[in-house]
Structures are given as structure tokens and as C-alpha cells.
Amino acid sequence: MDRYDIKREYRELYTCSAEEFTEVHVPEFAYLAVDGKGDPNSSQEYADAVAALYSAAYTAKFTSKKVLGRDFVVGPLEGLWWSEDMTAFHARDKSSWSWRMLIVQPPWVTDEMMTDAVAAAADRSAAKRKPLPSLPRVHPFRMTEGRCLQILHIGPYDEEGPTLERLHAQVMPALGLGFAGEHHEIYLGDPRRSAPERLRTVLRQPVTEVRE
């Protein structure tokens, strides 16, 4: 059985330059999502949310394989991040950040299948007496980002600031572009298995032309 892999099907969205920003067009994708706020490094809410998200994502995968005979690679963890003050990203003031963590789903996984996966994951965690308190907050989410600029960041997450400042203060103004969505990060590296200096993260920003 061939396994669908979003990173292979849309290679241009998950492989990009680490030197210069490149432009991509991102179509609609369906995601399992969970929302929250606060510093991901110290927030128990964030840790619980990510654990619940992965539980639902793997349940959707196993159900798809068993019921539909269609297997897929669970996509990488992704996150939308925003703040009332965008300079908070440059300063890495994480306590003021809001977030929506995501795991993309293949095109045949419907919103109903995602909702059922969340319910099945909750039943399984209850049966095993391993509660996942954030599971009720996991939900289907669809997003079309359209025109975006992105770059590959290699290294610790806390060193993204200068790259984002260059994007916001230099690259986008020079191209006559403004913000058209939340800051988007795609985590290609696993911080549990990779040294901080080897982590790879796609930094993506939806953009639109600014009318004068």
C-alpha cells in the first residue's frame, strides 16, 4: 500500500532556500487544529494541546487505513502565531503570543472523519486512563493561504527574530506587500531528537499587494 505524504505531493511548500525568501502559492488544506495562548516553552496548556493533536492525527491515520484502505504519513507539526504587536515576534516575547497548532490531513479526510477521530481518541485515552485534557479543543480547520513568502530557518527557534524582522521591515516593503494572514511555522525537525542548531523550520507569511 502506497502511503500519501504531503511533503512529497507538495514538495515546493516544504522545501525552500535557507538564504532567500521565495514565493509560493498555497491552496486550501484541511487540518486538525487546537488553539491557545502563551509561551510554548513553559506552558502546560501548549504541551497538552500538542499531545492531544497528535493523538487525534494518528487516530485519523489508522481509521483511514483500516476503513478506506488508504494510508498516509502523518504530516509535520505546524503552527500559526500572532500577537497584537507584531514586534513581539522580533523580541521573542512569547508570553503575548496566541497560537493555533496544526497537522495537515490528506484530501480524502473529511471534517466528519476528523471529528470522529477526536472522539475515538478521547474514548481510547479514557479506556487507558491516560487523560488528554485538550482533546475536546481539537477541531477541523480549513485554510487557503494563497500567495506567501517563505524561507527555511536552520537553528534554534529563538534565533528566528532577525529573519522575521528582515521579512517585515525590508523584504515585504521592498516588494510592496502587506500581511494577509498569520505567521506560519512548519517544524521539519524534532526538538526531542535533534540538536537545536540542526532544527529546520519553514517560516511562511501570507502576503498581499498594498494599495497606495
Predicted pLDDT at 211: 75
Distance CA 10, CA 168 (A): 26
* CA proximity to 97, closest of 88, 105, 109, 106: 88
Kindly report the CATH class assigned to 3-209. Answer: alpha beta
Predicted pLDDT at 212: 67
Distance CA 180, CA 30 (A): 19
Predicted pLDDT at 176: 96
Contact 75, 104 (CB under 8 A): yes
Contact 5, 72 (CB under 8 A): yes
Contact 192, 50 (CB under 8 A): no
Predicted pLDDT at 41: 82
Task: For the chain, 212 residues long, give each residue's pLDDT as a single digit of tens.
Answer: 589 999 999 999 999 999 999 999 999 999 999 999 988 888 889 999 999 999 999 999 999 999 999 999 999 999 999 987 766 666 667 777 899 999 999 999 999 999 999 999 998 888 888 889 999 999 999 999 999 999 999 999 889 989 999 999 999 999 999 999 999 999 997 777 778 888 999 999 999 999 76
Predicted pLDDT at 188: 94
Contact partners, residue 203, CB within 8 Å, separation at least 6: 150, 151, 152, 153, 160, 163, 164, 167, 183, 184, 185
Predicted pLDDT at 208: 97
- Where along the chain do its domains lie? 3-209
Cell 500581511, located at residue: 179
What one-character-per-residue DSSP string does 27-85 give? Answer: EEEEEEEEEEES-TTT-HHHHHHHHHHHHHHHHHHHHIIIIIS-EEPPPPPEEEEE-SS
Predicted pLDDT at 96: 77
For the chain, the residue count is 212
Q: Cα 84 to chain center, whole Å?
A: 20
Q: Cα 51 to chain center, whole Å?
A: 14
